Amino acid sequence: MAKHIPGPLYYQQQGATGPVMIFLHSTPDDHRLWLYQTAHFSAWYRTIAVDLAGYGRSPIPQDGVTLADQAEACWEVVDRVDGGGGQIVVQGNSMGSFIAFHMCKQRPERAHCLIMSGTGFIPGPVRQPMKVWRERYLKEGIGLRHYQLLDHFSDAAKKKPEVQYYANMVVELNNPATVGAIAAMNGALMNAEPDSFWEDCPVPLMIVSGTADRNHPAAEVLHKRMKGSQFRVVEGAGHAVMQENPALYDSYCIEFLDSLGLWPGPKGN
């Protein structure tokens, strides 16, 4: 059992056969951030969308939880699905991208490749944006979650009915402990790893970034630090790039997977 996480994580699997492809969400989202990708890629993969500890239907993390703890809990999910064998494709957005990176560092032999979005290199020792969010949640309470969910989208997208619907759906699972859990994970995010941790990726890496995401400049910096990484841009998209333009996001994933000999489906989807 992963440290500071009292029980297995909740996840939803689509696809009965094929390699495992795991999806890790940003904060304050839950596994449904990836609703388009899990539906699409489940034709060829066993897609696993995880509720990280403290979100959705997963247990509330204990004090002291770290990104590495969340990564270990995600490997436990993978092991339950595939019996601890085979290599997987890892995808993560924002907080999920950091946890996905930890997953690949922990078990590089089990990861085919890594796809990160809504991410970037923020030098330590304290990631100030996450510190601000932590302080805001402790001060303003759980009502901030709905605002932050919409804040992940570009100004044009956040007004769309389907985006409003998504944000409303996620907050329906709030419980009295949710705000503390989100604050705790922002605390884990604000305590940055040594800069050297982000100097190389042990597996093939693609970074996808929306130009309307405030992290976009930091994503470009991360790409330059990661020798051999691929970098793809979605014009006008915000932090939740996979929802704002799922067709383009998925096409980038397919191109990347195909370049590694990992795409079993038709080209051009």
**pLDDT digit string, tens, across residues 154-213:** 999 999 999 999 999 999 999 999 999 999 999 999 999 999 999 999 999 999 999 999
Kindly report, residue by residue over 24-66, the tens digit of the pLDDT.
999 999 999 999 999 999 999 999 999 999 999 999 999 999 9
119: left (phi over 0), alpha (psi -120 to 50) or beta: beta
Secondary structure class of 230 (helix, strand, coil): strand
DSSP designation for 96: H
Beta-sheet pairing, 46-50 with 11-14: antiparallel
Is the pLDDT score of 7 beyond 70? yes
The CA-based dihedral angle spanning residues 249, 70, 90, 227, taken in that order and rounded to the nearest 10 degrees = 90
Q: 88, 111 in Cβ contact below 8 A?
A: yes
Is the pLDDT score of 268 beyond 70? no
For residue 177, CA distances in Å to 169, 184, 213, 246 come to 18, 11, 29, 32
DSSP designation for 34: G
- What pLDDT sits at residue 84? 85
Write out the two tokens for 99: 């946890």
Q: What is the mean pLDDT of the chain?
A: 97
Return the domain boundaries, the chain.
Answer: 11-122+195-259
Beta strands in the chain (DSSP E): 11-14, 20-24, 46-50, 88-93, 111-117, 205-210, 230-234
Ramachandran angles phi, psi of 250, nearest 5°: -65, -35
Give domain 11-122+195-259's CATH superfamily: Alpha/Beta hydrolase fold, catalytic domain (3.40.50.1820)
